[in-house]
Structure 1
């Protein structure tokens, strides 16, 4: 895929369908679910980088080896038997294969606004800093497929008087089932969970303030705890230092801007809140062993 000068952004579900070439439309402004098979043959084969204001779930039962999915700066080829999660802030791009089967689901945050849930806190797979593609066993895939089938049937039953609240309830059930799968997967990967609430609050605060706050002290103040207590909680639950997560979030944004845009290093440094571009370059090279321009050249060459 060629690097584009700008990243497309979609606030509206039907508008994203229009640009992607998908002929389907939703009558509900905040929700849509459909099968990948429905996207043929109208949907464009190559989609340049884009972000969404809304959330997306993709259950990929079968994939083509010629298909490619990019999430942020990670390229994935042929990820059959997976479910992936995209939230506002993720950058996606794809090359569509000819044998993909599964389901796509979009929903705006407002669709679940009447429920006492925090999408980023309650469902960690939506956080840009977390794992957002889960491999599935055959049993897990069958369970999720049943969820998507019920959602699809309910969505198409436009005459049902309780269609929307039923969709909301079914969506929440799906999300909590995905949360269970996510936690099970993390447990199998030997992650611990000692202070989940504080760690979740930290990651949520990081998403809101990473452009302006760069110290553990600043986030400890926001969360009304001591820096040592915050660092201990993050280290025990996530297995990494809080400061490293802060830096990694800044560098993730930097990598997206370097790969997906033509902004200069100085412009990117300014956007990320660095007083001097040299400070940004020094940090980037120390963490990634490449200068920003070297990373741009390497990433573009590798993904072309």
Structure 2
């Protein structure tokens, strides 16, 4: 049974230790206890100056959240999308969305912070990070921004860096507020349709469908298999008629239930083809296809490539 490696905070700190040429203990934030969760902040220039320009951030699902202000020409690569940045970028990374960040010139600047959900969410009554629009499934949360906005955000990172080295007893409460401010910067850059918070019954069904769909992923083992495969499977689990579910999804997203399931299957298939050594038969099985030919035909219909062509 082969599993996909997920980058943990331990992995992250080993990487930062190598890049900065420092012991892990020396870059670990001061006064941070386990019951607080985890948070840290870094300068981008310091983390890349000791490595070659050809280096890339690992293409994987991180177990921590990351917010980056990147100043310089670079690109972000997702499973099925490439976003080129000519000047400044504000990037939000979640444990569910794998990506590459690739610097394309030597002069890179900016800052990034990493944190766990338990740093941000202090009690069960609070909203999960995954419920915030900026971190919801289906987004590619990287935004190209102008110098004026980049300067505003950089000032916020400067406050975070100053606070994390202070002796103020409540500094992590203050930093948490700064992180929330960063999140709001990102959410204001999203289309207004992404920020709907209506609680009517139809939107609740849509939200529950998306949550249920995302719970099927990531596929971490070649022995793992999708349990919900069809529109009827999801409708039955949500206790609604399949036509009702399809109608509400079409009204909200412009796509049918089957189209949304297929899009997510294609996204996961691309990740598994690029990130694992599993053969096509194993990927086909894990994604719920009964025959490898069905998977190959499905993938080519959606991408114009066979699985083997896409992998190569």
Normalised by the length of structure 1, the TM-score is 0.80
Is the CA contact 2:42–2:113 (under 8 Å) kept in the aligned structure 1?
yes
Give the alignment of 1:1-304 within 5 angstroms.
8-12=5-9, 14-19=10-15, 21-23=18-20, 25-27=27-29, 28=32, 30-43=38-51, 45=53, 46-47=55-56, 48-60=58-70, 62-64=71-73, 67-96=74-103, 97-115=105-123, 116-123=126-133, 125-157=134-166, 159-184=167-192, 196-209=203-216, 211-297=226-312
Distance in 1 (CA, whole Å) between partners of 2:243 and 2:170 is 50
Is the CA contact 2:121–2:128 (under 8 Å) kept in the aligned structure 1?
no
Distance in 2 (CA, whole Å) between partners of 1:137 and 1:184 is 20
2:59 alignment partner, SS class = strand
Deviation at 1:183, TM superposition (A): 3.7
Is the CA contact 2:85–2:144 (under 8 Å) kept in the aligned structure 1?
no
RMSD: 3.0
Structure 2, unaligned runs of 5 or more: 218-225
Distance in 2 (CA, whole Å) between partners of 1:201 and 1:139 is 38
The number of equivalent residue pairs is 284
193-202 or 86-95: which moved more? 193-202
2:114 alignment partner, SS class = strand
Structure 1, unaligned runs of 5 or more: 298-304
Is the CA contact 2:91–2:141 (under 8 Å) kept in the aligned structure 1?
yes
Alignment correspondent of 2:222: none
Q: Note the alpha carbon deviations across 1:252-292, whole angstroms, 9 max, x for none.
A: 11111212333211011122222221221121122222211
Normalised by the length of structure 2, the TM-score is 0.78
